[in-house]
């Protein structure tokens, strides 16, 4: 009952779950249909509660921080007027610091005294009115929650602490510079995504404080979508923001529910199928056993795998990057590897499948190739078999080699993950899954290769031994070859050279024979060693292949980008320009321009850019909105772009006419084609409202050169796969360099010999060459008749290879160690804790001892490297700020405050271009201008000087100050220097960010990291090798002693342990040697005594046994002599009788001799598969003739055991004879068989007199017999025979009721033999 439950329960649970889901789904759908108002109401209530709770927590956190800051301000030291110094105020605000929170302190006059944090909007007029309040400031780019906490001293307001916290980001751009940490984003993910709602956040304004206006009509149904409104309250209890949740209407809701239930039903169905397969296979194992059950199990799992693929489970939108085909998607596996996660699952399943098969083949007896000698048929069969076996290998290795090379190729080429990115020393979940999946696939392919070799070898042996039964596999070989050839014909193999395939075949053969060899040496270490060697081989091959293929992929990407650059851009750029003009002029621009709200209008250009194709494409561009007079009202540019509207006054252009044009421009010394256009903007009632200018440059070159770091594109096209190696771009005309993007490329340089004439348009060429002493690989492509583009990729040096190898080795080693740990844990849970050997313990101790200093060293080095990088960047910033300051002061002549105000974005861009840097200029605490003004326009950087810089440079008078800042998720250092008037007074601050250097710094740090990690791994490897050697040295004598002790335990006392050591181990060995010597002497004496005793016993027994028949013989002969002497007619009768008696006794003597002989003899056993029922019937047949009645009850089928057929038959004869002799007359024997799992139970019951308990106890003792003519060794031989077959024999008997002999024998596996 218990076992039945165990089988039914798992699938039953899933079935119940599935049924429950069906019922629940049906009910939910029914309810949605019939009770929609209630569901809708409940949705509102839940949504309302969740959003209120989230907002309250978000607001309370900022509120508490501002209250803490207010308390700290009160605690500051104060002068007679009660005002603290500005430095103290900065320090006090710092105490309320919270990540992403801006805190400001305003005095009673509303003057900002101190601040900290990333910044925020200006305060609303009249906000500082001594009231404790909060409100939401809705800006065109970002919206902030603003909390105002008055600071009271002696019941008098002495100032206000203001907290500003980002609430929403009002544009769609999202990249590593603008990674949104807004509260609304987290509300959406926590509440909105969970409920399938797209939330909108609207600020309460006089215009929309009427709820109805928010939804454009009545709150409630608007088509299929119902809009819920949730008001969120300020700290003083007023509604300050409305959350609009356009929840699905009844129809959409039903679709949503159906989709959700379908997903869960799919998972439950999968669970049901998996458990059913596992349970059925487990059950099947009991009756079928062996490979069949495993094949069924694995086959079913494969079917299930593809079922999940068909159902698109687990689905790629729910689990992020792991199942995102945008990061990795291979076509192989018919959809079973369309993401990194799928790759892992498929790899794991394939590896398990192959591991099971290889284990079976290796573990099974490998049949020897036997020659029957002189048989002509076998010679011919060998030839046929050889040819067919070869064909089998070639036929099956075809798809294998294809699969192998496809895996390697696909992992790199079907991926947007840079597997060699030095910034990622250890792979994350997605990359790790991809790499591990690839390792599993390669591991499986290695096992597959071994399986082909072993299978072919085994089939060959089988065929040569028994040709008639081997026809089937020839058919399989033929089918394999045919299908492989057909496959090759349909899909020619583009991968893997013949040399590579030959190397692969050689590797497979070598591994196969190693595996077989280890398997023969012993069962325990064989599989483990095979697993280890195949794993290491797979990892080595994969690491080498990846290292090479990643480089190839870089080159393929370079080719693609070069082709993009070379392509006439007119079509694409014109499309982008026209699309953006249309989007920008048709959006909300007309309304904003008409409304004339300065704040909204000012940010119009950025918002419009962010929502257009310009942001998606990420080109260098400019967007400028002008009013109906042609005056600029909003401007934004990404990258160094010209201000078209300023260059082309509207007076010269038709204001209401759209136009586009193309021209060449020189920006920062480089000439580039520019596409510019203008589109008028009209209101819905066709009123002219203004216009928009767009300029755009096709800057693929900048992208490939990594110069797009500062661009705000969302997301960046090359973010995932920008080559980290140095890239140079050059343009040649008539064979001479006309423009280059690096100092190492000198104008006028000639194209490499033969390149110019050898290039055919649209067909590039790779050339190796040197620039500035470094080796590069350059891809040359002819763009027009005379122009050639060359993109050079820094060659891979040994350091790069070392780096990539180190990374992969680090990852695979950690995976291996994790696997070993899990295996150990599993062993522990199975109550079979593995006991590490003395040598393993020593090696582990060495590893740990060497690991600790290496880790400490690594940590120290890492910290030192970071400090060094910071120092280096600091020095760089000191020098850059100094240069900028000199340039500014040089331009000003006399440094007076009002002249600083003359510095605009344009002049600072010019200075930055001259000095090849970036610069921000502050007048006091506020920004005057910047060479990267778009970063301020986009509100990525606060226009206010950071608190630390202000305190350091302006308040403390430092000549240089630097601090780390964050834009999105990018951290970088900024250097600040004061601009001083001649009086020494600080009138401004120059800031230089290291943003443009950041990529270089990160790469450099990562490369150094990697080299160091490589060295550490090398040190660890050396430590492990040396440690293993030393451990071996220490453990060897102990192991020798252990082995010697084991030999002694088996009776071998001839062990020699003379190593000549003079230490404690040597003494131990000498003592052991003395002990074995003494033992041997004692043993020899004992053996001699035992032998004598045995001989005596044997002689006594033989004499006794011989004497028994001799006595009747003597009496008979005496009787015969007496009869002869007496004479008479009866002599003939006497002679007959006596002769009979003598002959009987002679037979008895002969039998005694035979039994002694049988007992002593150990005949060669010939094991084969024996049909047990046949053997029983044969043995019973002997007694049928003597009138013994047999009744059989056999289990269906023909159970087979592995045994010597003759020996087994003798055992049954012995048992039957005992029964016959015991019963004497009217003998009846019943024989029955049954199976218990893999055991065959044979019961033989007679109708004899039975036995007492005493007799039963001695039944199998040699020489024990209840018969007068028996030797008492029959049953002893029976027991020996059965036990030698790994079986057991037992006897049950009750006096007067007969006896039952029960034999238990292991059934043979199907593949035995």
Partner 1 sequence: MQQTIITQALLLLLAFYPAAAGQNHFHSDDSTSPDGPASIFRAIEQGLARGDERIFSVFFSRTVSLNVRGNSPGYYSANQAGQVLRHFLASRKIPSFRFTTLESDDHPFATGSATMTVGGRIERFQVYAGLTRDKSGWVISQFNIY
Under rule CB under 8 A, which residues in 254-273 are in contact with partner 1? 255
Q: How far apart are CA 752 and CA 767, in angstroms?
A: 8
450 Cβ neighbours under 8 A, 6+ residues apart: 358, 508, 511, 512, 515, 534
Token digits for 228? 């819920």
Q: How many CB atoms lie within 10 A of CB 368?
A: 9
Q: How far apart are CA 1031 and CA 1057, in angstroms?
A: 20
353 binds partner 1 (CB under 8 A): yes
Of residues 1005-1064, those binding partner 1 (CB under 8 A): none
Q: To the nearest whole angstrom, how small is the minimum distance from the Cβ of residue 1311 to partner 1? A: 5
Residue closer to partner 1 (CB basis): 616 or 933:
616
220 binds partner 1 (CB under 8 A): no
Q: How far apart are CA 928 and CA 988, in angstroms?
A: 9
Q: How far apart are CA 717 and CA 131, in angstroms?
A: 49
Residue closer to partner 1 (CB basis): 638 or 912:
638
Residue closer to partner 1 (CB basis): 429 or 1110:
429
Q: How many CB atoms lie within 10 A of CB 540?
A: 15
Going by the DSSP 8-state scheme, the letter that residue 755 receives in this structure is H
Q: To the nearest whole angstrom, how small is the minimum distance from the Cβ of residue 416 to partner 1? A: 6
**Interacting span for partner 1 (CB under 8 A) from 66-74, 273-281, 296-304, 932-940:** 296-304
902 binds partner 1 (CB under 8 A): no
Residue closer to partner 1 (CB basis): 331 or 687:
331
Length of the chain: 1313
Contact 161, 153 (CB under 8 A): no
1135 binds partner 1 (CB under 8 A): no
334 binds partner 1 (CB under 8 A): yes
Between strands 225-233 and 239-248, the pairing is antiparallel
Contact 256, 196 (CB under 8 A): yes
Options 243, 269, 354, 1211; binder of partner 1; rule CB under 8 A: 354
Long-range contacts of the stretch 1073-1078 (C-beta < 8 A, 24+): 1076/1044, 1076/1048, 1077/1053
173 binds partner 1 (CB under 8 A): no
224 binds partner 1 (CB under 8 A): yes
366 binds partner 1 (CB under 8 A): no
Of residues 736-775, those binding partner 1 (CB under 8 A): 762-763
For partner 1, what does the binding mask look like between residues 231 and 250, x meaning CB under 8 A? -----------------x--
Q: To the nearest whole angstrom, how small is the minimum distance from the Cβ of residue 617 to partner 1? A: 8
For partner 1, what does the binding mask look like between residues 1091 and 1130, x meaning CB under 8 A? ----------------------------------------
Contact 168, 962 (CB under 8 A): no
CB burial of residue 992 (10 Å; 0-12, 13-18, 19+): buried
Of residues 476-505, those binding partner 1 (CB under 8 A): 476, 480, 483, 487, 491, 493-495
332 binds partner 1 (CB under 8 A): yes
Residue closer to partner 1 (CB basis): 295 or 787:
295
415 binds partner 1 (CB under 8 A): yes
The angle, 0 to 180 degrees and rounded to 10, between the axes of the packed helices 290-311 and 250-287 is 170
**Interacting span for partner 1 (CB under 8 A) from 63-71, 290-298, 859-867, 1074-1082:** 290-298
923 binds partner 1 (CB under 8 A): no
Q: To the nearest whole angstrom, how small is the minimum distance from the Cβ of residue 895 to partner 1? A: 47
Q: To the nearest whole angstrom, how small is the minimum distance from the Cβ of residue 509 to partner 1? A: 17
359 binds partner 1 (CB under 8 A): no
Of residues 305-324, those binding partner 1 (CB under 8 A): 312, 316-317
295 binds partner 1 (CB under 8 A): yes
1000 binds partner 1 (CB under 8 A): no
Residue closer to partner 1 (CB basis): 527 or 1262:
527
Of residues 712-731, those binding partner 1 (CB under 8 A): 715, 717-721
707 binds partner 1 (CB under 8 A): no
Residue closer to partner 1 (CB basis): 184 or 481:
481
Of residues 109-128, those binding partner 1 (CB under 8 A): none
Contact 1131, 1124 (CB under 8 A): yes
**Dihedral angle sign, alpha carbons of residues 862, 867, 871, 874:** positive
Options 130, 325, 1066, 1112; binder of partner 1; rule CB under 8 A: 325
Q: To the nearest whole angstrom, how small is the minimum distance from the Cβ of residue 564 to partner 1? A: 7
Q: Which string of b and e fits 327-345 if b means at least 16 CB within 10 Å?
A: bbbbebbebbbbbbbbbbb
Contact 444, 347 (CB under 8 A): yes
508 binds partner 1 (CB under 8 A): no
Reference 935, options 715, 712, 713; nearest CA is: 712
Options 299, 821, 836, 957; binder of partner 1; rule CB under 8 A: 299
Q: To the nearest whole angstrom, how small is the minimum distance from the Cβ of residue 951 to partner 1? A: 41
CA 464 to chain CA centroid, nearest Å: 45
The sheet with strand 1298-1306 has its strands ordered as 1189-1193, 1228-1236, 1239-1246, 1298-1306, 1288-1294
Q: How far apart are CA 693 and CA 681, in angstroms?
A: 11
390 binds partner 1 (CB under 8 A): no
Reference 54, options 189, 174, 178; nearest CA is: 189
Options 73, 89, 184, 396; binder of partner 1; rule CB under 8 A: 396
Options 22, 282, 413, 826; binder of partner 1; rule CB under 8 A: 413
Of residues 435-474, those binding partner 1 (CB under 8 A): 441, 444-445, 448, 451-452, 455, 459, 462, 469, 472-473
- For residue 367, is it left (φ>0), alpha (ψ between -120 and 50) or beta? beta
Options 14, 405, 518, 609; binder of partner 1; rule CB under 8 A: 405
Token digits for 98? 């919270």
Place of tokens 């601040």: 115
328 binds partner 1 (CB under 8 A): yes
Going by the DSSP 8-state scheme, the letter that residue 162 receives in this structure is E
Residue closer to partner 1 (CB basis): 349 or 883:
349
Residue closer to partner 1 (CB basis): 251 or 897:
251
For partner 1, what does the binding mask look like between residues 599 and 628, x meaning CB under 8 A? --------------x--xxx----------
Contact 1159, 1198 (CB under 8 A): no
Q: To the nearest whole angstrom, how small is the minimum distance from the Cβ of residue 840 to partner 1? A: 35
Q: How far apart are CA 505 and CA 453, in angstroms?
A: 9
Reference 960, options 862, 894, 1059, 885; nearest CA is: 885
**Interacting span for partner 1 (CB under 8 A) from 475-483, 777-785, 925-933, 974-982:** 475-483
512 binds partner 1 (CB under 8 A): no
What separation in angstroms does the CA of 180 have from each of 142, 202, 940, 968? 10, 18, 11, 7
What separation in angstroms does the CA of 1294 have from each of 701, 1217, 1218, 1242, 1252? 100, 19, 16, 19, 7
Options 572, 688, 805, 816; binder of partner 1; rule CB under 8 A: 572
CB burial of residue 1162 (10 Å; 0-12, 13-18, 19+): exposed
Options 65, 173, 276, 357; binder of partner 1; rule CB under 8 A: 357
Give the interface size with partner 1 as a residue count (CB under 8 A).
96
Q: To the nearest whole angstrom, how small is the minimum distance from the Cβ of residue 293 to partner 1? A: 11
Of residues 532-561, those binding partner 1 (CB under 8 A): 556-557, 559-561
Contact 25, 18 (CB under 8 A): no
């Amino acid at each position: 009952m218990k076992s039945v439950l165990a089988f039914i329960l798992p699938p039953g649970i899933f079935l119940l779950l599935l049924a429950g889901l069906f019922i629940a789904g049906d009910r939910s759908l029914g309810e949605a249909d019939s009770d929609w108002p209630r569901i809708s109401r409940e949705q509102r209530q839940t949504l309302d509660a969740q959003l209120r709770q989230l907002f309250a927590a978000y607001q309370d956190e900022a509120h508490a921080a501002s209250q803490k800051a207010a308390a700290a301000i009160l605690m500051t030291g104060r002068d007679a007027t009660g005002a603290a110094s500005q430095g103290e105020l900065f320090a006090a605000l710092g105490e309320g610091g919270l990540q992403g929170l801006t805190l400001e302190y305003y005095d009673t006059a509303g003057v900002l005294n101190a601040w900290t944090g990333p910044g925020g909007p200006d305060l609303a007029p009249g906000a500082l009115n001594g009231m404790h309040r909060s409100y939401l400031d809705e800006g065109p780019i970002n919206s902030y929650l603003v909390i105002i906490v008055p600071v009271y001293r002696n019941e008098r307001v002495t100032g206000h602490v203001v907290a500003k916290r980002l609430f929403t980001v009002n544009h769609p751009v999202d990249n590593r510079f603008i990674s949104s940490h807004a509260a609304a984003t987290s509300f959406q993910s926590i509440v909105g995504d969970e409920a399938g709602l797209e939330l909108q956040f609207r600020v309460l304004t006089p215009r929309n404080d009427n709820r109805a206006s928010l939804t454009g009509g009545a709150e409630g149904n608007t088509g299929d979508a119902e809009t819920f409104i949730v008001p969120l309250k300020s700290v003083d209890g007023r509604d300050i923001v409305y959350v609009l949740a356009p929840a699905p209407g009844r129809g959409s809701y039903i679709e949503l529910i159906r989709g959700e239930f379908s997903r869960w039903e799919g998972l439950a169905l999968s669970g049901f199928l998996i458990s059913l397969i596992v349970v059925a296979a487990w059950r099947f194992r009991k009756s079928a056993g062996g490979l069949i059950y495993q094949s069924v199990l694995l086959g079913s799992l494969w079917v299930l795998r593809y079922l999940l693929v068909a159902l698109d489970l687990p689905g790629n939108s729910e689990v992020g990057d792991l199942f995102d085909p945008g990061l990795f998607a291979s076509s192989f596996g018919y959809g079973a590897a369309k993401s990194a996660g799928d790759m892992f699952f498929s790899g794991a399943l394939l590896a398990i499948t192959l591991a099971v098969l290889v284990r079976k083949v290796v573990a099974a007896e490998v049949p020897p190739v036997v020659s029957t000698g002189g048989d002509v048929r076998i010679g011919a069969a060998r030839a046929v078999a050889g040819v067919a076996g070869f064909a089998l290998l070639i036929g099956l290795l075809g798809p294998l080699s294809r699969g192998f090379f496809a895996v390697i190729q696909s992992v790199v080429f079907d991926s947007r993950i840079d597997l060699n990115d030095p910034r990622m020393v250890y792979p994350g979940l997605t990359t790790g899954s991809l790499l591990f999946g690839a390792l599993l696939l390669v591991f499986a392919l290695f096992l597959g290769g071994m399986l082909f070799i072993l299978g072919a070898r085994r089939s060959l042996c089988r065929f040569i031994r028994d040709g008639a039964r081997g026809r089937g596999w020839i058919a399989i070989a033929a089918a394999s070859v045919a299908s492989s050839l057909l496959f090759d014909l349909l899909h020619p193999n583009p991968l893997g050279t013949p040399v590579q395939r030959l190397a692969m075949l050689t590797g497979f053969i070598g591994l196969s024979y190693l595996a077989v060899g280890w398997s023969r040496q012993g069962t325990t270490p064989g599989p483990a060693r095979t697993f280890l060697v195949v794993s290491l081989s797979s990892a080595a091959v994969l690491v080498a292949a990846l290292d090479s293929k990643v480089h190839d992929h870089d080159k393929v990407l370079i080719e693609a980008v070069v082709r993009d650059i070379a392509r006439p851009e007119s079509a694409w750029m014109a499309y982008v320009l026209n699309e953006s003009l249309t989007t920008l002029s048709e959006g909300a621009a007309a309304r904003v321009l008409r409304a004339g709200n300065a704040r909204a209008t000012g940010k119009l250009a950025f918002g419009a850019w962010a929502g257009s194709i310009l942001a998606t494409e990420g080109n260098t561009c400019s967007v400028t909105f002008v009013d109906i007079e042609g005056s600029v009202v909003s401007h934004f540019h990404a990258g160094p772009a010209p201000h078209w509207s300023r260059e082309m006054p509207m007076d010269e252009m038709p204001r209401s006419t759209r136009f586009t044009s193309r021209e060449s421009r020189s920006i920062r010394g480089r000439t580039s084609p520019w596409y510019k256009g203008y589109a008028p903007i009209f209101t819905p009632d066709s009123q002219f409202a203004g216009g928009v200018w767009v300029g755009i440059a096709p800057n693929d070159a900048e992208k490939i050169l990594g110069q797009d770091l500062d661009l705000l594109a969302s997301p960046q096209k090359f973010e995932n796969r920008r080559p980290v190696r140095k890239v140079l771009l050059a343009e040649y005309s008539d064979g001479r360099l006309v423009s280059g993007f690096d100092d190492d490329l000198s104008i006028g340089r000639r194209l490499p010999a033969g390149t110019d004439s050898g290039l055919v348009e649209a067909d590039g060429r790779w050339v190796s060459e040197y620039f500035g002493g470094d080796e590069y690989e350059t891809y040359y492509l002819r763009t027009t008749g005379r122009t050639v583009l060359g993109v050079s990729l820094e060659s891979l040096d040994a350091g790069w290879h070392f780096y990539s190898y180190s990374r992969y080795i680090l990852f695979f080693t950690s995976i291996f160690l994790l696997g070993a740990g899990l295996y150990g844990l599993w062993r522990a849970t199975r109550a079979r804790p593995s006991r590490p050997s003395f040598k393993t313990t020593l090696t582990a101790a060495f590893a740990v001892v060497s690991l600790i200093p290496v880790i400490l060293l690594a940590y120290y080095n890492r910290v030192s490297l970071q400090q060094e990088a910071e120092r280096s960047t600091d020095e760089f910033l000191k020098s850059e700020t100094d240069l900028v300051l000199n340039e500014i002061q040089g331009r000003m002549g006399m440094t007076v405050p009002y002249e600083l105000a003359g510095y605009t974005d344009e002049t600072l861009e010019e200075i930055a271009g001259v000095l090849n840097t970036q610069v921000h200029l502050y007048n006091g605490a506020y920004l005057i201008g910047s060479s990267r003004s778009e970063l301020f326009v986009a509100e990525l950087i606060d226009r206010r000087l950071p608190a630390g810089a202000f305190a350091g440079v302006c308040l403390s008078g430092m000549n240089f100050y630097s601090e780390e800042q964050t834009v999105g998720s990018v951290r970088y250092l900024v250097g600040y220097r004061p601009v001083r008037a001649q009086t020494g007074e600080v009138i401004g601050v120059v800031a230089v960010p290291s943003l443009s250097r950041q990529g270089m710094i990160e790469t450099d740090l990562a490369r150094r990291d990697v080299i160091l990690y490589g060295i550490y791994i090398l040190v660890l490897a050396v430590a492990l090798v040396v440690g293993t050697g030393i451990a071996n040295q220490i453990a060897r004598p102990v192991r020798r002693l252990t082995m010697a002790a084991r030999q002694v335990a088996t009776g071998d006392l001839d062990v020699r342990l003379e190593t000549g050591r003079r230490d404690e181990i040597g003494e131990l060995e000498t003592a052991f040697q003395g002990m074995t010597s003494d033992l041997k002497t004692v043993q020899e004496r004992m053996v001699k005594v035992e032998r004598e005793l045995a001989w005596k016993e044997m002689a006594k027994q033989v004499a006794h046994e011989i004497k028994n028949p001799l006595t009747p013989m003597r009496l008979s002969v005496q009787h015969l002599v007496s009869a002869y002497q007496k004479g008479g007619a009866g002599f003939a009768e006497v002679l007959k009788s006596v002769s009979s008696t003598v002959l009987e006794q002679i037979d008895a003597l002969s039998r005694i001799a035979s039994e002694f002989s049988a007992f002593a003899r150990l005949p060669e056993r010939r094991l084969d598969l024996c049909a047990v029922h046949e053997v029983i019937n044969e043995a019973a047949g002997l007694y049928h003739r003597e009138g013994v009645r047999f009744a059989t009850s056999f289990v269906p089928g023909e159970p087979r055991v592995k045994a010597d057929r003759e020996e087994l038959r003798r055992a049954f004869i012995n048992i039957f004879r005992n029964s016959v002799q015991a019963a004497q007359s009217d003998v009846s024997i019943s024989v029955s068989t049954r199976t218990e799992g893999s055991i065959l139970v044979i019961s033989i019951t007679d109708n004899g007199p039975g036995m007492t308990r005493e007799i039963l106890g001695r039944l199998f003792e040699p020489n024990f017999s209840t018969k007068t003519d028996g030797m008492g060794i029959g049953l002893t031989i029976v027991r020996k025979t059965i036990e030698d077959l790994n079986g057991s024999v037992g006897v049950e008997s009750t006096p007067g009721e007969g006896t039952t002999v029960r034999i238990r024998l292991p059934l043979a596996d199907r593949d035995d033999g």
